[in-house]
């Protein structure tokens, strides 16, 4: 039993070492972007994204400056959450 445990640990360690050699590890040098890391060159905004993002939000739209800088990041602000009484923006209603 001890040998199987030792062998499993050795295999995991070997796999981790070989994976480290093939791919850059993010966070090792936080002030530098790893060489070969992907770079966002343009922001993809499908038609109607702003209407979807602001659906159910009354004017004036104050405090929503983050939408302008959202980029391609995922945000739960654009998607329905819980239906029923928790759907305060009416994202489940299709008027």
- Considering the domain boundaries, does residue 42 fall inside one? no
- Considering the domain boundaries, does residue 69 fall inside one? yes
- Considering the domain boundaries, does residue 25 fall inside one? no
- Considering the domain boundaries, does residue 60 fall inside one? yes
Quick check: 72 and 40 in contact, CB under 8 A?
yes
- Considering the domain boundaries, does residue 34 fall inside one? no
Q: Which two tokens stand for residue 45?
A: 């905004």
Compute the distance between CA of residue 56 and CA of residue 87 in angstroms, rounded to an integer. 10
Domain residue limits at 75: 49-86
- Considering the domain boundaries, does residue 44 fall inside one? no
Look at the chain and report how many structural domains it folds into: 1
- Considering the domain boundaries, does residue 32 fall inside one? no
Distance, CA of 32 to chain centre: 20
- Considering the domain boundaries, does residue 80 fall inside one? yes
For residue range 54-73, list pLDDT tens digits in order: 888 889 988 888 888 888 88
Q: Comparing C-alpha atoms, which of 82, 17, 70 is closest to residue 40?
A: 70
42 pLDDT higher than 80: yes
For residue range 6-27, list pLDDT tens digits in order: 666 666 666 555 555 566 666 7
């Amino acid at each position: 039993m001890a040998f199987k445990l030792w062998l499993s640990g050795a295999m995991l360690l070997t796999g981790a070492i070989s994976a480290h050699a093939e791919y850059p590890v993010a966070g090792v040098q936080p002030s530098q972007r790893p060489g070969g890391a992907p770079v966002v060159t343009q922001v993809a905004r499908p038609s109607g994204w702003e209407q979807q993002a602001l659906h159910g939000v009354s004017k004036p739209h104050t405090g929503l400056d983050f939408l302008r800088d959202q980029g391609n990041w995922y945000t739960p602000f654009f998607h329905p959450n819980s239906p029923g009484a928790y759907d305060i923006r009416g994202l489940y209603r299709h008027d």
